[in-house]
């Protein structure tokens, strides 16, 4: 089966990770399924990026294991792992002034040089409204423009698993919505999508599931309705807040620092 049709379940079992002197992931157990769009949320330093980096294979947990459809992820050859999971880090500055299209094409490297490379690059750039940057040096783009090109690089491949760390952070509201609609559509097509997000409104509106991390501990996991309660958000972030729900769309109102 090629990656286009492949559906992938990711299991994290008892993950423990130390960075510096800090235990940044503690006994993390969670599963990510095909067709599910999951938001990983939590305050700064909670361990969101660390968890995504473990799943992407950038970091190796000290104990516990990550499996892709039951196979130990760390035992997979690097190319196979890259074909199964595409990852966009939280921030990254381009080292060379590649054109936008060439940077996007880097996302196809795990598949060699597919014959329809140019069509795929064009399609991925259109998904994030980045066609205008195809011939521009990426070192000359604004923060949000560069982010859209990097997002196209994430989307250009055929990996069944998409992992993106704060993908909406640099984007204006139109492009935030467009991107989340794309992630929703890709999940509906069977992809397993994991996003670290700070925007609780976007998480509530588009995601099937939310994992709430605090100091490396999984404080809660479930539907947005289950996790987005003033009690849980207050405990994790130290703020009082309200959620107004209308037709499945949440309006999050932060009130005061507790």
Ligand X SMILES: Nc1ncnc2c1ncn2[C@@H]1O[C@H](COP(=O)(O)OP(=O)(O)OP(=O)(O)O)[C@@H](O)[C@H]1O
Residues that bind ligand X in the complex, under the rule CB under 6 A: 19-20, 22, 24, 42, 44-50, 90
Cβ proximity to ligand X, 26 vs 205, nearer residue:
26
Cβ proximity to ligand X, 48 vs 148, nearer residue:
48
Q: 98 vs 41, 136, 138, 167, 240, CA distance in Å?
A: 33, 8, 6, 21, 46
As a whole number of angstroms, the distance between CA 113 and CA 29 comes to 37
As a whole number of angstroms, the distance between CA 151 and CA 12 comes to 25
By the 10 Å C-beta count (0-12 exposed, 13-18 middle, 19+ buried), 200 is classed as buried
Q: From the CB of residue 244, how many other CB atoms can be counted at a distance below 10 Å?
A: 9
Q: Nearest distance from residue 213's CB to ligand X, in Å?
A: 6
Q: Nearest distance from residue 215's CB to ligand X, in Å?
A: 8
Cβ proximity to ligand X, 48 vs 175, nearer residue:
48
The residue assigned the tokens 């990770």 is: 17
Q: Nearest distance from residue 18's CB to ligand X, in Å?
A: 9
Handedness of CA 203, 207, 213, 214 (dihedral sign): positive
As a whole number of angstroms, the distance between CA 111 and CA 80 comes to 10
Q: Nearest distance from residue 20's CB to ligand X, in Å?
A: 3
As a whole number of angstroms, the distance between CA 233 and CA 252 comes to 11
* Strands of the sheet with 85-88, listed across from one edge: 85-88, 161-165, 192-196, 37-41, 209-214, 217-222
The residue assigned the tokens 């294979």 is: 57
Residue 73, SS3? helix
The DSSP call for residue 84 is H
The DSSP call for residue 198 is S
Cβ proximity to ligand X, 24 vs 104, nearer residue:
24
Q: Nearest distance from residue 160's CB to ligand X, in Å?
A: 24
Q: Nearest distance from residue 107's CB to ligand X, in Å?
A: 22
Cβ proximity to ligand X, 30 vs 108, nearer residue:
30
Q: Nearest distance from residue 165's CB to ligand X, in Å?
A: 7
Cβ proximity to ligand X, 134 vs 236, nearer residue:
236
Cβ proximity to ligand X, 42 vs 100, nearer residue:
42
């Amino acid at each position: 089966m090629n990656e286009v049709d492949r559906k992938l379940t990711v299991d994290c079992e008892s993950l423990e990770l130390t960075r510096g002197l800090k235990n940044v992931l503690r006994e993390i157990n969670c599963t990510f399924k095909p067709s599910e769009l999951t938001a990983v949320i939590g305050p700064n330093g909670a361990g969101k990026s660390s968890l995504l980096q473990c799943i992407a294979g950038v970091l190796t947990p000290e104990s516990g294991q990550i499996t892709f459809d039951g196979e130990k992820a760390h035992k997979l050859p690097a190319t196979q792992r890259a074909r199964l999971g595409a990852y966009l880090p939280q921030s990254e500055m381009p080292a060379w002034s590649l054109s936008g299209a060439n940077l996007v094409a880097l996302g196809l490297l795990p598949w060699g040089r597919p014959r329809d490379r140019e069509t795929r690059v064009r399609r991925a750039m259109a998904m994030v409204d980045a066609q205008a940057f195809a011939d521009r040096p990426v070192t000359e783009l604004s923060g949000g423009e560069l982010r859209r090109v990097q997002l196209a690089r994430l989307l250009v491949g055929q990996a069944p698993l998409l992992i993106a760390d704060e993908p909406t952070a640099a984007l204006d509201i139109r492009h935030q919505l467009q991107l989340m609609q794309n992630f929703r559509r890709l999940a509906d097509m069977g992809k397993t999508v994991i996003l670290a997000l700070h925007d609780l409104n976007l998480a509530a509106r588009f995601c099937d599931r939310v994992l709430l991390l605090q100091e490396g501990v999984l404080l809660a996991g479930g539907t947005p309705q289950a996790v987005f309660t003033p009690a849980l958000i207050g405990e994790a972030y130290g703020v009082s807040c309200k959620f107004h729900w209308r037709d499945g769309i949440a309006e999050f109102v932060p009130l005061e620092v507790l």
